[in-house]
Amino acid sequence: MSGGPLIVQSDKTLLLEVDHPDAKACRMAIAPFAELERSPEHVHTYRLTPLGLWNARAAGHDAESVVDSLIKYSRYPVPHALLVDVAETMDRYGRLQLVNDPGHGLVLRGLDKIVLIEVAKSKKLAGMLGAKIDDETIAVHPSERGRLKQALLKLGWPAEDLAGYVDGEAHEINLAEDGWTLRSYQQEAVDGFWAGGSGVVVLPCGAGKTLVGAAAMATAKATTLILVTNTVAGRQWKRELIARTSLTEDEIGEYSGERKEIRAVTIATYQVLTSRRGGTYPHLDVFGARDWGLVIYDEVHLLPAPIFRFTADLQARRRLGLTATLVREDGREGDVFSLIGPKRYDAPWKDIESQGWIAPAECVEVRVTLTDAERMAYAVTEAEERYRVAATARTKLPVVRALVEQHPDEQVLVIGAYIDQLHQLGEYLDAPIIQGSTTNKERERLFDAFRSGELKTLVLSKVGNFSIDLPEAAVAIQVSGTFGSRQEEAQRLGRVLRPKGDGRQAHFYTVVSRDTIDTEYAAHRQRFLAEQGYAYTIVDADDILGPALPQID
């Protein structure tokens, strides 16, 4: 017995003893290939999955290094069958390769001829493959490069894409030389992406993903299409690019609901690209409007299905996905892997925090007890409406106000999912609301007022989940969410992680109705952040308000 912190079980689960002195080193070692499933106080459960192992393989980790990590940290002998399975699963990646053959163009090459015969007979690949060239090579229709990778992943034979990329239209882009430099992890992220050609960089909110994008553009020196979540996020990208690179305002176009500019660098919103007219997506033509050398997907974990479909046609373009979490609630992580590319760089949140690049954060779940009337309303509500009833209970209002008052010198974001609840909070707190219907001009005015300190409290709908740079925000209070979304939880904490000038701590509160599905969803939402090392403290609303809860009419 080695006395290590890890118990490796034959069902492919890994149990990590959190309090063991080697737990942190072990977590760092298994993070590239193991996926966290549960993270209570003392023992965290990870699972080995084919996608996790293939991602590690694509990132340069071989089976030997994975096996060595498991053996090094395991408390008991690692089941031999599991070690064999790890090696054989990782060996499936790259037995098929997509390459450009000088005489035949794009081809699927089999390093294992039998595997090539097996997949060629699959009906799922019908129409994607061309003529057989020899025993090791089959022609591929270039337009099917992305869809073929998707299909092969589902068949359990993920192809290694070595077919290369077109350079696209050249455009001179340099990083500005005005006293700033890339942080070491940002440079590592750019190097990892460029070495692989396409893929995803995972960095915590506030760690400078936009700068990674700018550095990738300066490396490519080519026309670039940047896809963002909304117009405000797009304009933040534009401001950063003008400040951090040699690009001028005239070189950057905005393609949104308000403007339709296509320039050497074009920033387009997912919303306008996925808007339909007569059953078609007319704005997807922007993908073919220029000979793009680079396509950047901001918040790639939110990528809508139509963008996935179109990305399948863009496999000859370099593609960079940026995100704080690769968690997708729809389970389409495999599509991100096959169509955007494997994970090329991933920095643990706590590592970036320990370097001082994001603020330390305290996470607190505040549980409120519903009134008898609210409990009755919840009890008689249909199952599909119960979360809304629990999440929007008016009993939460005085708790939110008390939390705001606990931080009189801080700037506070109150975030929720239900518009009627947010209007109640806006009125109750005498604070402005930003929601989907708020015009971009008004959003930018309110954000500027918040940044300047003129506005201390801001109420946000789901539009505040991502891509909003509010470095002054130090407190976030979450009152309702998108059911049990882990990615949303991470994004909301990210709103307050920008480093503070005086090094002070950030505070993230979730106000939850006890004895309801609200608490179940809260536990599910917290899983990703628990993986990153954030511990949630649960307190009772009485501790915030005192024993006498004020009555809400």
Place of tokens 């959190």: 18
Q: How far is CA 359 from CA 320, 321, 548, in A?
A: 26, 24, 34
φ, ψ dihedrals at 118, nearest 5°: -60, -50
- Looking at residue 551, what is its pLDDT? 47
Interatomic CA distance for residues 318 and 295, integer angstroms: 6
Interatomic CA distance for residues 132 and 141, integer angstroms: 12
Interatomic CA distance for residues 57 and 339, integer angstroms: 17
Which helix (DSSP H) or strand (DSSP E) does residue 297 occupy?
A: strand 294-298
Cβ-Cβ contacts under 8 Å for 445 (sequence gap 6 or more): none
- Looking at residue 39, what is its pLDDT? 64
DSSP string, 69-95: HHHHHBSSPPPHHHHHHHHHHHHHTTS
Ordered strands of the 129-134 beta sheet: 129-134, 137-140, 105-110, 96-101, 160-161
- β-strands 6-8, 13-17 pairing: antiparallel
- Looking at residue 550, what is its pLDDT? 46
Whole-model pTM?
Answer: 0.81
Angle between helices 63-73 and 50-58 (to 10 degrees): 120
Q: How far is CA 531 from CA 37, 79, 193, 198, in A?
A: 9, 25, 24, 26
At 100-120, the pLDDT tens digits run 999 899 999 999 999 999 999
Please say whether the beta carbons of 477 and 403 come within 8 A.
yes
Collect the ranges in the chain with pLDDT lower than 70.
1-2, 39-41, 179, 329, 464-468, 483-484, 501, 546-553
Q: How many CB atoms sit inside 10 A of residue 499's CB?
A: 18
Q: Which two tokens stand for residue 16?
A: 């990590």
- Looking at residue 553, what is its pLDDT? 47
Residue type for 381, please? T
Interatomic CA distance for residues 145 and 107, integer angstroms: 9
At 330-367, the pLDDT tens digits run 777 888 888 999 888 887 777 888 888 888 888 899 99
- Beta bridge partner(s), residue 412: 457, 475
Task: Select from 449, 459, 361 the least CA-distant residue to 401.
Answer: 459
Name the burial class of residue 255, with classes exposed (0-12), middle (13-18) and buried (19+) by CB atoms within 10 angstroms of its CB.
Answer: buried
Domains 184-347 and 353-545 share a fold: yes
Please say whether the beta carbons of 317 and 167 come within 8 A.
no
Indicate the fold that domain 353-545 takes in CATH. Answer: Rossmann fold (3.40.50)
The distance in angstroms from the start CA to the end CA of the chain is 63
CA 267 to chain centre: 19
Residues of 81-115 as b/e, b for ≥16 C-beta within 10 angstroms? ebbebbeebbebbbbbbbbeeeebebbbbbeeeeb
Alpha helices in 322-452 (DSSP H): 333-335, 349-354, 372-379, 386-391, 396-405, 419-429, 440-452
CATH number among 3.40.50.300, 3.30.9.100, 3.30.70.2610, 3.40.50.2020, domain 184-347: 3.40.50.300
Residue type for 156, please? G
Q: Where are the domains of the chain?
A: 6-92, 100-161, 184-347, 353-545
Interatomic CA distance for residues 382 and 389, integer angstroms: 10
Q: CA-based angle 510:516:521, to the nearest 5?
A: 50
What does the longest C-alpha to C-alpha distance in the chain come to? Answer: 81
Which helix (DSSP H) or strand (DSSP E) does residue 133 occupy?
A: strand 129-134
Q: How far is CA 385 from CA 378, 382, 461, in A?
A: 9, 6, 19
3-class SS of residue 226: strand
- Beta bridge partner(s), residue 433: 459
Task: Select from 259, 320, 301, 308 the least CA-distant residue to 281.
Answer: 308
- Looking at residue 2, what is its pLDDT? 52
